[in-house]
Chains A and B, each alone.
Chain A
């Protein structure tokens, strides 16, 4: 074979290989996003208000409408948002925010330092009051610079300002026009890539593209206006209906409430893609630490430990969550740095240990009915939980598990409003609950005495813990030291106080049609900017 022929054959083979690779893998992800179309998204709850100051429940719609002062990228690292940069003083008591100069609200008004000043001084409060509590002074030093002074080092403000609950900035003009109470019902004005078109309370919400938007965050591939024309959020509370809608193409995505029981069928469905986020919904059995209301539980650390050792967490993961989620035996989800403590401090399943602790505490089954007694009192505990929830299913398993060590549970299932009310009255022994949060400051929220009676409905009051969290951990000038100090407080809670028995941490599940492109899981501030439809 001549050299020339070899050259041509070699060239042809190369072209063939590149064509094949390019067609199958090389260029598959580099499709040009298409503009246009409507995305229909199913959610479990309606949003009673789109006012970040009022609501305790949020979904992706918030992040499509509003933007935070500080953002987070795909790896959850702090990145510029409406503030293009920031600077902390060395002692952590002053933060200077340098704002973007090219941003405007959906109503055409300008975003500047005056807005941010108003935001901290007048708008913040309600459910997000805790964020502004440590702020001593807010001052706009020029048109696009704001300086915040704190009462104590407040490094965690970066977290709070980059979170949906704290950092979303509405238009002051719009808020003043309708008033703080009315804002968020029909009038919603932010700087996000979508604006509100229509809203039917607790039913549906239609967002449409904000054409002027061209200040997309640096972590976003798309920095201009959104690809989608519209996003329709539909509230579908019934699980069967919600999943049937996805299977029949009635909706394009389910962002909240993908039932684990449908996971296998969704994963086998060639038209559907399942997206798994990190484990962040932590379930626990809370103990009532009020000695007057629950003397058995609050009065003896050994009982609380025994209950925690008697919980077969694998049985809960299999029985309730179909094998999904993680078990780490701590009060913080696995994604939080302060949960990374030595194995010996974590809670685990050990029936023998549980039985020994109960014997040691003087609880024995005297009459042979399977339930332990002490001084004529039965070890019977009132256990409350929300009905029709995973917590209720945990309750059923827990009742069986604790029976094995001679503890009787009296389960009382109720709706959420009733549960909050009963928690506050203190008339309960155990409460099966869960929370979603990704910062160690949740330990202060639930367990410090400054949070009594709510959100510290555990009724825990321990001066040493208060000091460890509020005066030491939260006052650290940098995140590394803050994490170390939170770890110490966390260990103290898990070993010396035990106000709860952790059970399981559930992963975040979402399901979308395959033709929905650019959909990636993002912990916070997912703006829907990169999502497009290839339908």
Chain B
């Protein structure tokens, strides 16, 4: 796709005013004079042994650039995903347990607003309130907890709202099952009924959501890295697309895809913990 888009990485190397000979020499050196399938397979064979080539815009090896940027992205996305569940699941449970009460309506109202807010917009609002007006946290950068919490919250808000909704509906479904009525009939207290018998079964769809949310978190993380000026892989990807830095774009997308796959694998493993009936033979 990037090869079809107008723009030329050779210009990044030699400048737009380079003479034809210098341009052609650089094009040959970068291997861009070869057919696209040849370029792809060459890249694939190198990537298979962990060599992603060299960035034409940053003039460094792609491996070192990604190694520099990946921890910055992981830092706030992992906290964001953790917050999604730490906030979303309890809210969903509370809402289900207190269904059709004022608490339920209030929580679901907040959830509705959170679901409707784009992450980058919430990021800007959080930045203006806590960074500019209250001055509680620094506005941009990376490294400390203060610098990680706002982008993590902005990332978590929508995911937490969705988790809350799924947890609530799942809990309500489970609460009406016969075995819950049986649990109540044998005299168990409500707390045990909800948390021991109902919640574990209700969590299955929430875990499924985890795998799906990872991809979304990666996408939302790109815009948040720009808003909070975090030089992670998302910002790297955007800059590389603009510079037509093919090798970085390919490697970044591969890294992000692998992390999403790993997330889904993790979700599959969590299924067996939540529901011991699930076995992968």
Contact = CB atoms under 8 A, between A and B. Distances in A.
Nearest to A54: B15
B59 A417 contact: no
Interface in B79-113: none
A200 B231 contact: yes
Given A248-B132, A418-B7, A241 B17 contact: no
A202 interface: yes
A453 to B, nearest CB: 10
Contacts of A127: 15, 17-18
A202 B58 contact: yes
Contact of A420 (B7, B128, B131, B226): B7
A460 B111 CA distance: 60
Given A48-B57, A236-B140, A248-B131, A417 B242 contact: yes
A185 B58 CA distance: 8
B16 A420 contact: yes
Contacts of A455: 16-17
B268 interface: no
B68 interface: yes
A238 B226 contact: yes
B6 A414 contact: yes
Contact of B11 (A184, A185, A248, A420): A420
B7 A415 contact: yes
A201 interface: yes
Contacts of A204: 231
Contacts of A421: 6-8, 11
Interface string B198-213: 0000000000000000
Contacts of B65: 201
Contacts of A130: 17
Contact of A241 (B12, B59, B135, B139): B139
A150 B41 CA distance: 50
Contacts of B11: 417, 420-421
A245 B137 CA distance: 11
B243 A417 contact: yes
Interface range on chain B (Cβ under 8 Å from partner)? 35 or more
B12 to A, nearest CB: 8
A417 B124 contact: no
Contacts of A12: none
Contacts of A415: 7, 241-242
Interface in A225-247: 234-238, 240-242, 244-245, 247
A422 B65 CA distance: 30
A204 B17 CA distance: 28
B60 A185 contact: yes
B138 A237 contact: no
Interface residues of A, number: 43
A321 B226 CA distance: 24
A149 to B, nearest CB: 23
A182 B60 CA distance: 9
Interface string A210-238: 00000000000000000000000011111
A250 interface: yes
A126 B14 contact: yes
Nearest to B225: A238
A238 B139 CA distance: 12
B5 interface: yes
A455 B16 CA distance: 7
Contact of B127 (A54, A202, A244, A416): A244
A475 B19 CA distance: 24
A102 interface: no
A242 B228 CA distance: 10
Nearest to B64: A201
B119 to A, nearest CB: 14
B29 to A, nearest CB: 10
B59 A49 contact: yes
B7 A240 contact: no
A164 B83 CA distance: 49
Nearest to B132: A244
Most buried by A among B14, B128, B131, B236: B131
A201 B69 CA distance: 10
A86 interface: no
B56 to A, nearest CB: 9
Interface in A132-190: 181-182, 184-185
A202 B245 CA distance: 14
Given A202-B58, A203-B231, A455-B16, A240 B124 contact: yes
Q: Which of B18, B58, B59, B127 has the most CB of A within 10 A?
A: B59
A245 B140 contact: yes
B65 to A, nearest CB: 7
A203 B243 CA distance: 15
Interface in B131-171: 131-132, 135, 138-141
Given A48-B57, A202-B239, A126 B132 contact: no
Contact of B58 (A201, A245, A451): A201
A118 interface: no
Nearest to A237: B226
Contacts of B132: 244, 247-248
Contact of A454 (B12, B16, B59, B139): B16
Contacts of A236: 140, 229
Interface string A415-456: 111101110010000000000000000000000000100110
Interface in B234-280: 235-236, 239, 241-244
Nearest 6 Cβ contacts at the A-B interface: A417-B7, A421-B6, A203-B231, A127-B15, A418-B6, A201-B58
Given A201-B60, A416-B242, A417-B242, 17 more contacts: A46-B239, A48-B12, A49-B59, A127-B17, A185-B58, A203-B231, A235-B231, A237-B226, A238-B227, A238-B229, A241-B127, A244-B132, A247-B132, A417-B7, A417-B244, A418-B6, A455-B17
17 contacts: A48-B57, A56-B16, A130-B17, A181-B59, A185-B60, A201-B60, A201-B68, A203-B231, A240-B227, A242-B229, A245-B139, A248-B135, A415-B242, A417-B7, A420-B8, A421-B8, A422-B6
